[in-house]
Amino acid sequence: MTTLKYPLATEKSVSVIDKSNVITYVVDFRATKTQISEEFEKLFNVKVAGVRTSNMPTNYKKAYIKLAKGYKASDIAIKLKLV
């Protein structure tokens, strides 16, 4: 099972990249915070400080992935072509 589906590119999610060092992803509905964190760390070779999730009414889950100090969410966003 792949946990991370795709990055979210809404106005709000792009604004928190620089403000809070957070990347927003749509993830598998059954994914746990630990699974999300581990897969993101392996995929982008960064350390994750924390993960917050939100279950949406249209049967998907959003994950707000905060990167640890020393890592920039803007660098990840450039790789993902969000900015």
Which pLDDT tens digits describe the chain residue by residue (83 residues)? Answer: 689 999 999 999 999 999 999 999 999 999 999 999 999 999 999 999 999 999 999 888 999 999 999 999 999 999 999 88
Q: How far is CA 38 from the centre of its chain?
A: 11
24: tokens are 């927003």
Count of CB atoms situated within 10 Å of the CB of 15: 11
Instruction: Spell out the CATH class of 4-79.
Output: alpha beta
Q: pTM for this structure? A: 0.93
Domain limits of the chain? 4-79
**What pLDDT score does 83 carry?**
81
